[in-house]
Structure 1
Amino acid sequence: MEVFRTDEFYVLMNTESSLWCNRRTGAIEVKPGWELANSGDPECLGIFYGLVGKVDFQVDGEARLLLIKETDPVGALPDGREVVKIRSIVFLHICGPESTAAELGLRPCKKHKAGNVKAFELPQKASLAKTWGSIKSATSSIRTTTQHAAAIATYQVKSGLKKDGKEREKFEKRILDELSRIFTDTDSFYFCVGPPGSKQCDLTNCLQKQNPDASIDDRFFWNKFMLKDILEMNNDLAKAWVLPIIQGYVQIEHCNIEVDPLTFGSQQTEFITVGIISRRSRHRAGTRYKRRGLDEDGKCANYVETEQFVATVDHQISFVMVRGSVPLYWSQPGYKYRPPPHIDKGEAETKLAFEKHMKEELELYGSICIVNLVEQMGKERIIWEGFTQQVINYDSPQITYATFDFHEHCRGMKFENVSYLIDRLEDVMQDMGFCWKDEQGIICQQNGVFRVNCIDCLDRTNVVQTAIGKTVLETQLTKLGLLAPEGSLPSSLRSTFQLLWANNGDIISKQYAGTNALKGDFTRTGERKLTGMMKDGMNSANRYYLSRFKDVYRQATIDIMQGMTSFVRIQDKLLVGNLEEFSMS
């Protein structure tokens, strides 16, 4: 994909169509690719790898396009689709000072040397109304110093007229910096490579939901609001610019495992692919102390669907779990190191939102096994009691409710006691099953889901989900004939499995709390050590610092990305010193 600049427009080009952004009004429209040939002398500013979307600032049409500047390969899914991670983005200021190739820093296009276009060629298609034979090239676009200076002067005058202009510009820069860090520092955003606008680009659906008629899962379409203008066009040319990006984590590994001689009669080595995909919900998105519990629509904070998969040459198998904040109206206000949880609304008012949440979960996954790891005594007791009472009141035969006071059972670094919980859940796992496909189609489906939570849905949740995932993986390998009944994971696969879940826990924790997960040494090695406890202490202190001094701006930026509020409204709150209160909603 390439971005061009003309006197009136910035033009984004892919193989299917072109996106025209008016540099005066900020309006966006989509056109056939050949329209660029009629624009005079466009200048190529470089290559980009996808459009994240548009973010609006101020009140007079100022907007920036978020272009994917760099990506890193992650690996190939079992169906062959390539997954990439966004490494960096660049902002294209539509109505601001003229952007140059040097300022954007995009990779130069081989066909058009950025900043000095001699000629460009557009793809020829017989179906186009224009005759391409007569269109050979476009001369380089020469920008005079006067034009550039005039654009800068116009922008500066316009900015100077704004109320509290300097403060607003300062705040705008801080939000832009935070937005850039969200994409560059957290290893959080992924998409599939494929033809523009095709289903091959969709990473929002798990294996069981992938079929020719499947649509993008709205919960995990992280940049949906930022693509609002394009989605509302609702035509085939516009669809080519819809790239669904997920926030979460993806890791894909390959390994050889030694198959038990009793299985095949002789020692054999089997090549398999194992991986993990976590998809964070865009609903009630935010940071640890700014987003807790649920909202009136039944959407929970820190809601993440995690899919663990394994594949051989002929088979694909996956298992899905979810995590999400305790579905009550609750918060942790104040500035204490560990402020006590507070119930914000009564049982009757909570009931409506709780029912919405559970109804949606049941419709999406079938039966639910809730695994509640919250402390049953001390500060967390109020949350445990409220959750338990709502489950009792809901009284659904499709819900299994398991409570396990993690801190009580695993006191003294005895995390291996999680095995007691796994033993209790064995029958539920067998009934739930997993998704299994081969070349002929679906062999079996997963019927239900584990919904695991602690207070933050991070550290304790990671340990328990890892333990569940290990048990399920052993069952799957046994079904494939790669592991003897009652056998355990081979050492090479066990280390890969632990790496997947430890990395997943760290990234999910960074997105919500700003640091790596606590108790990560146990997930990574299977052992709890003193050095791990020391690291946990440092991470806990860092979490407090981030929540106290940094999360306000991170939350404000996420709210703007998701369309939860306007940039101007957040500015106004800041100028009267009320942004903290605003971010606790």
Structure 2
Amino acid sequence: MSFRQLRGSTPLIWRSSPPDEILQPVVINISESRDIASKNALRLHLTNLIERYGEPISLLSLLSRGEKRGSLAAQYENLANAFCEVFNSIVPQIGSKKISLFEVGEADLLKSTDLQMKLLIETLRKEWMRQGYFSHILGFLENAEHFQSVVESQQQGILRVNGIDCIDMTNVVQYKVAEQILGEMLKRCEISEKMPNLQKNKVKNLWVQNGRALAQMHTGVPRVLYEEKIIPNWIEFLFGSYIWRFIVRLGRLYMGTFRDSRRQEAFECMLGKIKHTSEDAINLQKRVLSLATNQKSGLAFFMLVKRFFSPTHVNSISNLLLGAVWLLGQAFVRKIVGEEAWSTSTLPRIGSKLDTTIIMEPTETRKVSGLNAQITEMRQKAMKPLLEKAGTTEQNIRSNSGRRLTIS
């Protein structure tokens, strides 16, 4: 027997821009969320789900509305409103019987988890009863002489859960749904007794480990917020849930600041947007020394230390504490050297891409090496006399880029 659920982020076209520097807010850009592109994207996504899993498609949104004041809470609410607006606009095109949207705020689930989760499960029960689950019987069936394999029932449709991301509360809600459906499957097998605690804890541990693996991929920190709602956590038990959540969020901030920014640099290097060479490091060091001689020694010292302190993962509490000290150090240095010196510096800041706009181009062209480079060079030498013989130079061809030249 099996029951399939999906998880994902908010299915609209939107962007979340993490701060390049500490003490700056996260920006959620939803300017494109209400336009035709988002409507087409959501319609295609739902159509694809229907083609893959059948109908009905049940969407559960955990985006909170108005639980707090502040710019970030307002951005979450705007995203929730945009999602609801776009969804309602495409319901007539697909059909109200094929797709449905349920909304419950993550903040509401945190305030009164037991009550709100119970109400949510009762609401979703109607949906998974419509969808059913896959059941396969294998063995000697009644009045059968031979070993048989029979598909007793199939799941039609899918339950998709999303929050602002697909990790924390999404993991808790999907576990609660899975727990209820597992109980119904056991009843179907005429197992009326409750699941033994040992087996139940195995299921909980399996679910938490799965959530941690997803969190490791998405945030770099193998911990999930609110996992204490599934299985007890010793840090949460000793210090309280607020301390536990602070540690997880600090770890994610630390990872997003160091590792993710370097991943972005690597992607942009591969795409050719940014090129890192040995000259970059030399020029970077020159800029640091220049800052030091121009009475900006605090910023220069900070950047020099950054070259030797380059953590890329969270593997211990000490590393996490170092990350916290480093982030606070950035805010302190920024305050000491002044906003003007900080903003005009061309040095890379934590969480930012390496700015190579100030790096001078090398005066002489480097000689390319490698087999492909040699083949290209030989081809160019062979083509040059042919082009000159035809009375056309390479420069003329480049300047006439709007035309196509075919040599046969």
In structure 2, C-alpha distance between the alignment counterparts of 1:470 and 1:526, rounded to whole Å: 19
Show the counterpart of 2:101.
401
Indicate the RMSD between aligned Cα atoms, in angstroms: 2.9
- In the alignment, structure 1 residue 522 sits paired with structure 2 residue 229: yes
* TM-score, scaled to structure 1: 0.40
Deviations 1:503-550 (A, max 9, x none): 111111111011111111222249975534322211101111211221
**Contact 1:325–1:454 (Cα < 8 Å) also in 2:** yes
Matched positions, count: 256
Unaligned 5+ residue runs, structure 2? Answer: 67-72, 139-148, 281-345, 355-408
Aligned match of 1:364 in 35, 52, 69? Answer: 52
In structure 2, C-alpha distance between the alignment counterparts of 1:322 and 1:538, rounded to whole Å: 28
Deviation at 1:483, TM superposition (A): 2.6
Alignment CA distance shift 1:470-1:334 (3 Å): closer
Tell me the amino acid that sits aligned with residue 390 of structure 1. V
Alignment CA distance shift 1:553-1:525 (3 Å): same
Alignment CA distance shift 1:483-1:525 (3 Å): farther
**Contact 1:325–1:455 (Cα < 8 Å) also in 2:** yes
**Contact 2:58–2:160 (Cα < 8 Å) also in 1:** yes
In structure 1, C-alpha distance between the alignment counterparts of 2:99 and 2:233, rounded to whole Å: 31
More strand by share: 1
Deviation at 1:498, TM superposition (A): 1.0
In structure 1, C-alpha distance between the alignment counterparts of 2:186 and 2:276, rounded to whole Å: 55
Deviation at 1:351, TM superposition (A): 1.2
**Contact 1:432–1:448 (Cα < 8 Å) also in 2:** yes
- In the alignment, structure 1 residue 504 sits paired with structure 2 residue 204: no
- In the alignment, structure 1 residue 489 sits paired with structure 2 residue 195: yes
Aligned match of 2:111 in 401, 408, 411? Answer: 411
Larger relative contact order, structure 1 or 2 (CA cutoff 8 Å, min sep 6)? 2
Alignment CA distance shift 1:333-1:534 (3 Å): same
- In the alignment, structure 1 residue 420 sits paired with structure 2 residue 119: yes
Deviation at 1:321, TM superposition (A): 0.6
**Contact 1:436–1:445 (Cα < 8 Å) also in 2:** yes
* TM-score, scaled to structure 2: 0.57
Aligned match of 2:9 in 325, 347, 351? Answer: 325
**Contact 2:261–2:353 (Cα < 8 Å) also in 1:** no
**Contact 1:331–1:344 (Cα < 8 Å) also in 2:** no
- In the alignment, structure 1 residue 543 sits paired with structure 2 residue 252: yes
Please tell me whether Structure 1 or Structure 2 has the larger radius of gyration of its CA atoms. 2
More helix by share: 2
Deviation at 1:581, TM superposition (A): 7.2
**Contact 1:506–1:520 (Cα < 8 Å) also in 2:** no
**Contact 2:264–2:353 (Cα < 8 Å) also in 1:** no
Tell me the amino acid that sits aligned with residue 83 of structure 2. F
In structure 2, C-alpha distance between the alignment counterparts of 1:471 and 1:526, rounded to whole Å: 22
In structure 2, C-alpha distance between the alignment counterparts of 1:425 and 1:404, rounded to whole Å: 11
In structure 1, C-alpha distance between the alignment counterparts of 2:218 and 2:231, rounded to whole Å: 20
**Contact 1:510–1:517 (Cα < 8 Å) also in 2:** no
In structure 2, C-alpha distance between the alignment counterparts of 1:455 and 1:318, rounded to whole Å: 27
Aligned match of 1:342 in 29, 37, 49? Answer: 29
Show the counterpart of 1:572.
275
- In the alignment, structure 1 residue 534 sits paired with structure 2 residue 240: no
Unaligned 5+ residue runs, structure 1? Answer: 1-316, 560-564
Deviation at 1:337, TM superposition (A): 6.6
Deviation at 1:409, TM superposition (A): 3.9
Percent of aligned pairs with the same residue? Answer: 21
In structure 1, C-alpha distance between the alignment counterparts of 2:166 and 2:79, rounded to whole Å: 13
**Contact 1:514–1:543 (Cα < 8 Å) also in 2:** yes
- In the alignment, structure 1 residue 435 sits paired with structure 2 residue 134: yes
| Paired residue secondary structure (2:253) | helix
